[in-house]
Amino acid sequence: MEKRDGLLVVLSGPSGAGKGTLCRELLRQEPNIQYSVSATTRQPRPAEIEGIHYFFRTKAEFEGMIAKGELLEWAEFCGNYYGTPIFAMEQALSAGKDVILEIETKGALQVKKRIPHGLFIFVAPPSLEALSERIHKRGTEAEEVIAKRLATARQEIKLVTEYDYVVVNDEVPAAVHRLRSILVAEKCRVQRNPFLFKEEHS
């Protein structure tokens, strides 16, 4: 059987919907999936490690990456830049590893234009009230920043029809089970298995 490239999985949705939590649990259960580390200009949160959680860059460094075409996508969110470096992602996909991008909706739609055959999943909170409670529990941001995030979330939820699937993150184990089921189904699509139907030539 021919070796096939890995699957690019784009996971996005409002800040506070639990994308990071779902990613960590999915990666624990699915060892063939590789996390795509994003670059950002925001300051590290406690316990975040350079090259593991993000590549932390200055604004000037990030703008240099934009100018050199080193990013698959990038966006400015709440005063900071976020983006996906191209090289590591392409290397993993060509080696047959699945790659998951955990990014904001603006970046996800940029990726969809460049890589339409990727798998795009929207992570939604059970409600805006639940989302507000989750963000407040973080205790890492000022009230005005939280208000801006919630206003942005209302707009992002309207973009759900641009995605292939939606997963409501009500309970983490159930949401991860849905994600794993989506991955299995996607890999069984006829379009993703063209080599099965090639005629053998003697």
- Give domain status of residue 60, yes or no: yes
Task: Give me the residues paired with residue 99 across strands.
Answer: 8, 34
- Give domain status of residue 180, yes or no: yes
How far apart CA 3 and CA 164 sit, in angstroms, is: 25
**pLDDT tens for each residue of 70-101:** 999 888 888 899 988 888 788 888 888 899 99
What's the total number of domains in the chain?
1
Write down the pLDDT at residue 202: 47
pTM: 0.79
- Give domain status of residue 198, yes or no: no
Structure tokens at 45: 């949160």
- Give domain status of residue 1, yes or no: no
How far apart CA 3 and CA 168 sit, in angstroms, is: 33
- Give domain status of residue 72, yes or no: yes
CATH number for the domain that contains residue 106: 3.40.50.300
- Give domain status of residue 98, yes or no: yes
Q: How confident is the model at residue 199 (pLDDT cuts 50, 70, 90)?
A: low
CA distances from 138 to 131, 141, 146, 149, 201 (A): 11, 8, 10, 13, 60
3-class DSSP assignment, residue 131:
helix
Q: How confident is the model at residue 137 (pLDDT cuts 50, 70, 90)?
A: confident
- Give domain status of residue 201, yes or no: no
- Give domain status of residue 15, yes or no: yes
Q: Which domain holds residue 82?
A: 8-193
Write down the pLDDT at residue 2: 56
Write down the pLDDT at residue 200: 58
**pLDDT tens for each residue of 29-76:** 998 898 888 899 999 988 899 988 889 999 999 999 999 999 998 888
